[in-house]
Amino acid sequence: MNLKIIYTSAVAVLLTCMATAQQITVRPDPVRKPRPLDDIYYFNHRDTVTISFIGDVMQHGAQIEAALKKGGGKTYDYANMFRYMEPYFKKADYMVANMEFTVGTKPYTGYPCFSCPPEVAKAAKDAGIDLFLMANNHICDKGAGGLSKTLDAYEKLGMPKLGAYSDKAQADTASVTLVELKGMKFALFNYTYDTNGLPVPEPYYVNLQDSTEIKKHIRQAKQMGADIIIALPHWGIEYVLAPVAEQKNYAKMMFREGVNAIIGGHPHVPEEGYIYVRRTQAPYIKDSVERILFYSMGNYISNMSRSGWTSTGMFITLSFTRDIRTGKVKMLMPEWKYTWCFRNGQYKDDFTVVPIEEFLESEDFKAGGKTTLQQQGFKAISDFWPQIVKQDLIKVTYTE
């Protein structure tokens, strides 16, 4: 697939939308998306692999109710949950999502103990998601029965999964998944800081944050012949835009041990990210991406309304190619796209996720909201976008 080249820019965009009772005006500057400069091979990657990620896929009670209502009261319809992001999902060579709930235990419930209908997993698969992450603080919400039903539901769908297992023996052999794409080998592993104090019921096993176990997974990845190692931690402090010391220390350790990229979740808001670029004076390649760190992608979808940040998520795409000189797999500049979760009725008749920049340029937005809820939803996204731009969460750091 073609890699979207990311340029550094500061082009102002002016969108004006007239709603029935009010005027909505948005002046979002594009998020800066720099790339390494002067790499003469950057524009000549014929075999580029892309792996994309979304953050916390939540299922609060209001979401379950909305899906049931849309399904006519007999089935659950989650089509709009992925509809506007599905084209981006299916452009990726491989697509990963953090599924932060259990599946199949009735009655279905939201916070604080999550259990949702299996239809949400099928909708995710149909939208193009290739891997479900299960190591999160809510995976033990429904005890042994919840874990059993969730694992069974994913097995029936034929969905690969990471982070939770039927027993320790399975975890020992399946905690690192190796994905081969266009001749390049990618190892991924997933772990969580905790399970909300709930014990992992025997005989099940959940990968927990432990430096000894993480180092073991990194060794396994190397033994499997991985060209690139990607860690997928569930960590950090909820609703905080900056990482805490524990996250920083684990990130340093993982990079030291050989991890190439870290893509995190859990805080329910996007956090700072760093792209480490090595600046060299070689005559052919001036710069190269050495390490990639996104501390948190935030929510993909939820019913949280703590702030505009809990409605904001990140769709992250990592790109890779094989260096034509050395034969080694190299990382290219990643791409990140901010998403917005509309709650029930704020855009469609259920919970809907859109890419923010594209939505603000859409005919739907320009036409204005037809209902009071839509007007409120459209104003919220337009008012908050400049704050996202101003925060400038993702930094490029040069290392000599």
At 354-378, the pLDDT tens digits run: 999 999 999 999 999 999 999 999 9
Least confident of 3-17, 38-52, 353-367: 3-17
CB 333 within 8 A of CB 35: yes
Tell me the per-residue pLDDT of 332-341, one tens digit each, with 9 for 90 and over. Answer: 999 999 999 9
pTM, two decimals, is 0.89
Closest to 187 in 3D by CA, of 164, 221, 215: 221
User: Is 222 strand, coil or helix?
Assistant: helix
Q: State the distance between the two ends of the chain, measured CA to CA, in whole angstroms.
A: 32
CB 177 within 8 A of CB 233: no
Higher-pLDDT residue of 105 and 44 is: 105
Q: Does the bond joining 386 to the residue before it have cis omega, within 30 degrees of 0?
A: no
Beta pairing partners, 132: 97, 161
Element (H, E) at 177: strand 177-181
Which of the 8 DSSP states describes residue 285?
B
Which residue type sits at 384? F
Q: Is pLDDT of 12 > 60?
A: no
